[in-house]
Chains A and B, each alone.
Chain A
Amino acid sequence: MPAKTPLLTTIDLHKVYGSGDTAVHALRGVNLTLFEGEFVAVMGASGSGKSTFMSLLGALDRPSRGECWLLGIDIARLTRDQRALFRRHYLGFVFQSFNLLSRMTALENVELPLIYRGESRRVRREKAAMTLDLVGLGDRLGHTPAQLSGGQQQRVAIARALVTEPDLILADEPTGNLDSARSAEVMELLVKLQHHRKLSIVMVTHERDMAAYTHRVIWFSDGVVERDGPAAEVLK
């Protein structure tokens, strides 16, 4: 393990959905520190708060209480627009259901985040093509998602997350919709990219096989961190 620089620190993170009698406490005080270059798996039963944690980490939602320091910014205090800008510049997302725009080609899908970053058409094309090449789809630039297999679609989605060179990649069950062979391919790709590019990745998964690819596993239960440690230990 290289020298550890903290990337993310949460302090007493709470999230409550709804109010009054129907209020649901999804997170009940999460205190965590993640480091740069870590590949972290977030696990837990459904309803344990792991998805809520990811949406807070992804600046898609705000906590009800607590602080969430990422890259020196408390994203809990950001406005809606500031969160959008934060996602634009520092984060990359990979979703379970790929979430590619079906009427766009692979290249156009990967270009999309660069459009919002104001890159010129030429730079966009170049970077997107390069990134697709990196995930092994250099010969599929003009294909639409429907013309690609599930595994290929997820690789396009990974390229889309990667193309902006984000500080943190958030992957929400990236292998959830794939069979075991394709899942292994995607995980190996993530591991390879993580290793070569010193990426920081936080991945939600409920499959131990997938979590086994990571360095560290954080186990959520009832809105709090139950276990946290090296993958081999936690998964034992």
Chain B
Amino acid sequence: MNPATTFVMAAQAILRHKLRAALTALGVVIGVASVIGMVHIGQSAKESVRSQISSLGDNLLMVRPGAGPRGPGGARANAAPFELEDSAAIAAQVDGLTVAPVVNHGALVVWGNVNWPTAVTGTTVEFFEVRQWKLERGRLFEEQEVRSAAPVCVLGATVYNKLFGGGRESIGDTIRVGNVSCQVIGVLTSKQSSMGSDPDDVVVMPLRTVQRRLSGSTDVGMLYLTAPSHQPTASVKKQIEEILRERRRIKPGDDDDFSVMSMDEIAQRVEGTTDTMTALLGSIAAVSLLVGGIGIMNIMLVSVTERTREIGIRMAIGARGREVLTQFLMESIILSTLGGIIGIGLGLGGFAIAADSLGMPFVLIPEIVVFAFFFSAVVGVVFGYVPARKAARLDPMEALRHE
């Protein structure tokens, strides 16, 4: 009997029980759809993180006090903050480096009867260049304003929208940031959202203004730096570490009490996390595929028992064991691959909807689609084999007598 005939015969047998076939395949549909959906969402999240990070600039470095995520939990709390002189020293000693010291401070901003809690970033002029933050209108503050701790501020798009409702001209108006009255001199362009946090929910002010009037200390929270593009970030990182170790009087052999991270490293870390998440979600989804396979086995076993007499008839008219086996195996393979195909469609459809509503890129991974298809076929073979073998081993005489 040729494969095409076997296929037609199996397909006909399936079509005789459409509802049952649909319910049987449903398990595989759900399994494959969740595998496809999960893996695609994971990869898409990774993709969007990668593009966000690279949009920050590949040569961006971040310096924070504390040993960073690698060290023990308390390290950061104990580590001394930076000072403005640290920033100046790095800028002076490393060629071509742009350094922006930053202090972050939470504050309530008030205009008229509207108020909005946000994050205030105190920094220098270099900050806008380092972070590549662009101005929508108005102007940025100047060197002289940083030195004199001028009460001026540049609003992120979100803050601007919250205070001024989006349409109203605001340049030159005076708002209150915490206890400080300050003049709005510019509004920033809206930036791509990054993983749940809103980068536009920010007020940027001169560093000294924040230090003197809001935080009340000369501490610098962290440093943003851009390495010259011709120089590898690794070597720049090393130079910075040496300068800071010396300035912070860390004995040779002792661990750093600060961390310098390049965007590469951050990207790697985030990608590592999303990979782990993808693997986790994917394997949970794979379990449901397994359950789907067991569903097929269950129904096929019922089917074999129910069709014992049919098997007897087929054997009496000359079907060999292997032909009965291939017929039932074919049925389970058809069911599972059909479930696989529908599941791939559903999974991709669900992913498209999710990607659209979460603002993630629609990244199709052909490998995983092909893999899911073949895997569903394998599920059919594996879970169809036991029932099919049971059918093939029936004794024709007993099968014929079966009621």
Question: Known interface pairs A101-B310, A115-B5. Does A61 touch B397 (Cβ–Cβ under 8 Å)?
Answer: yes
Q: Tell yes or no: B400 within 8 A of A by CB.
A: yes
Interface size on B, residues (CB 8 A): 22
Contact B317 A113 (CB under 8 A): yes
Q: Tell yes or no: B264 within 8 A of A by CB.
A: no
Q: Tell yes or no: A160 within 8 A of B by CB.
A: yes
Instruction: Write out the residue numbers on chain A whose beta carbons fall within 8 Å of the beta carbon of B74.
Output: none
Q: Tell yes or no: A227 within 8 A of B by CB.
A: no
Complex Cα spacing A13 to B316, Å: 21
Question: Known interface pairs A55-B397, A60-B396, A61-B397. Does A87 touch B2 (Cβ–Cβ under 8 Å)?
Answer: no
Within 8 A of A (CB), among B271-310: 309-310
Of all chain A residues, the one with the shortest Cβ separation from B323 is A116
Within 8 A of A (CB), among B76-94: none
Contact B397 A113 (CB under 8 A): no
Question: Known interface pairs A99-B309, A101-B310, A103-B16. Does A116 touch B396 (Cβ–Cβ under 8 Å)?
Answer: no
Complex Cα spacing A95 to B270, Å: 71
Question: Known interface pairs A101-B310, A103-B16, A115-B9. Does A95 touch B400 (Cβ–Cβ under 8 Å)?
Answer: yes
Contact A85 B320 (CB under 8 A): yes
Contact A60 B397 (CB under 8 A): yes
B residues at A contact (CB < 8 Å): 1-2, 5, 9, 16, 309-310, 312-323, 396-397, 400
* 5 smallest beta-carbon distances between A and B, as pairs: A88-B318, A84-B320, A113-B317, A87-B318, A116-B318
Given contacts A99-B313, A112-B313, A116-B323, 16 further A-B contacts (CB under 8 A): A55-B397, A60-B396, A61-B396, A81-B320, A85-B320, A87-B316, A87-B317, A88-B317, A88-B319, A93-B316, A93-B317, A99-B316, A99-B400, A115-B1, A118-B1, A160-B317
Chain A to chain B contacts (Cβ below 8 Å), 24 pairs:
A60-B396, A60-B397, A80-B320, A80-B321, A84-B315, A84-B318, A84-B319, A84-B320, A84-B321, A87-B315, A87-B317, A93-B316, A93-B317, A95-B400, A99-B309, A99-B312, A99-B313, A99-B316, A99-B400, A101-B310, A113-B318, A115-B9, A117-B318, A118-B1
